Amino acid sequence: MKRKTNSFSDILLQENPSNVLRRSFEGGRIAQTYLFSGKPSVGRMTVAKAFAALLECKNPIKDNAGNVDSCGNCDNCKRILNDSHPDVRFVTPIGNEIKIEQIRNLQEMAVLKPTLGNWQIFIIDPAEKLNLSSSNALLKTLEEAPAHSMFILLASDTGAVLPTILSRSEIVRFNSPSHQQVRDIIKERYKMSDEAASACYALSEGNFGQSLIMAEDFEYEPDIINIKRSHTNYLLQMQMFAQLIEDDFSSVNNLEEALKKAWQLQTITYQPLLEARKALCRSLFMNTGFPKAFSLMFSQEIISCIDSAGNNIRKSFEPLLAENKKSYPTAVLKDIEAQITTSTTKWGSDQLEKIFLCLMNWYADALLMAAKADETLLLNLDRKQDIITVAKVEGFALLRSRIELLEKSVGLLRRYVQPLLVLENVITQIGGAEA
């Protein structure tokens, strides 16, 4: 599931940053360091790739509106679309940070002449993950960079980027579209009904990029609320998803490909799992007959299901790593192993966080209704009636405390508190109001 083009004309809701970049290309006023500032999933990476394609393209074209764009047909354009262009590289965290060795590596490559294209391009995502030493190394690289190298930094919190790096960067700001803007785009582009477009967007928990990918082959099915069924279905879909990923990974031929797959793990969407998660959270939100005594078992089943899915995914890399033991230097192999472990572990811990985020979005919607806000601000607009019902029953103060509980729980997970304890506590508190 990837984008079909890297053309600027396919970019949605980010005309301003796109036009800034296209104009600077046409005017020959290209900066060497850009910082794309905006929330995750609003399209910063998409625009970075469109810009990279324009810069490397052999025959840039004019689109219907007279704006410059990449051709989409030359070898450079095609390779960028497949993430396989030798002069366009991605620098992403290993573990929780971008390490100084990665920047030293980048420094060495930045001085080399581009092999196929016109530029050596480095996309650093997210720039907040540069630690102090890697930031300083990057700064030095930026100061000494040859004219053919370009650095694109992606950041959602520019306050976390070293000020000396910021001041060397041309800052390009990205908009955060409203729920309604995204729903309108989905509806128009994919010819959906209001309700289907709302359901599709709500499934992505407000993640714009993900909702667009999902809209490609979205099938709308109104679901039924029942806590036991939604719980069983969630466990089932989690296993199915892990199996799909394992099958995909076992078809990989070399370690570079495996590494790329591991990177992409966080962005793979699987609609049945998203639906199952949404239904599970909806039942919890609606508090549909959840027996208090079951909260531990309920939580245990979810945690062990996520854990075993993560382990199976990680294990599916092992034969390939073993096979390649002799053909790679130990240090490189260790790096690749670390990156794969990082990605799969993160995938697992994200799954529970996503349940909390989903629940939080339901309560945030209910809080909006309790405060008599405009209904277009709802994320789960397709479930307006559920939200109104819960808002009436639970009231402002209780809804606020639910949101606080979930925020605190996400914080605990990020501080590596045992997931089972955190989940059980949430379930007991939310499901515990026995009638």
Residues that bind Zn ion (CB under 5 A): 57, 70-71, 74, 77
Q: Which is nearer to Zn ion, 119 or 190 (CB)?
A: 119
Task: Quote the radius of gyration of the chain (alpha carbons, Å).
Answer: 23
Q: Which is nearer to Zn ion, 75 or 434 (CB)?
A: 75
Which helix (H) or strand (E) segment holds residue 20: the answer is helix 15-26
Q: Which is nearer to Zn ion, 70 or 237 (CB)?
A: 70
* Residue 28 in tokens: 């020959």
State how beta strands 61-62 and 68-69 pair.
antiparallel
Q: Which is nearer to Zn ion, 86 or 146 (CB)?
A: 86
State how beta strands 149-155 and 120-124 pair.
parallel
- Are 116 and 75 in contact by the 8 Å Cβ rule? The answer is yes
Query: How far apart are alpha carbons 163 and 132 in whole angstroms?
Result: 12
- Are 346 and 267 in contact by the 8 Å Cβ rule? The answer is no
Cβ neighbour number for residue 414 with a 10 Å cutoff: 10
Least separation in angstroms between CB 77 and Zn ion: 3
Query: How far apart are alpha carbons 367 and 371 in whole angstroms?
Result: 6
Least separation in angstroms between CB 82 and Zn ion: 13
Least separation in angstroms between CB 118 and Zn ion: 11
Phi-psi label, residue 225: left if phi above 0, alpha if psi -120 to 50, beta otherwise = beta
- Write down the number of H helices and E strands in the chain: 17, 7
Q: Which is nearer to Zn ion, 77 or 214 (CB)?
A: 77
Least separation in angstroms between CB 54 and Zn ion: 8
Cis peptide before 93 (omega within 30 of 0): no
**Distance between the two ends of the chain, CA-based, in angstroms?**
45
- Are 149 and 119 in contact by the 8 Å Cβ rule? The answer is yes
Least separation in angstroms between CB 111 and Zn ion: 25
Q: Which is nearer to Zn ion, 56 or 424 (CB)?
A: 56
Query: How far apart are alpha carbons 158 and 144 in whole angstroms?
Result: 23
Least separation in angstroms between CB 213 and Zn ion: 24
Distance set, CA 37 to CA 45, 158, 172 (Å): 11, 7, 6
Least separation in angstroms between CB 409 and Zn ion: 48
Q: Which is nearer to Zn ion, 71 or 166 (CB)?
A: 71
Q: What amino acid occupies position 82?
A: N
Least separation in angstroms between CB 81 and Zn ion: 10
Least separation in angstroms between CB 243 and Zn ion: 38
Q: Which is nearer to Zn ion, 117 or 419 (CB)?
A: 117
Query: How far apart are alpha carbons 48 and 37 in whole angstroms?
Result: 12
User: What sign has the CA pseudo-torsion 41, 46, 47, 52?
Assistant: positive
Q: Which is nearer to Zn ion, 79 or 99 (CB)?
A: 79
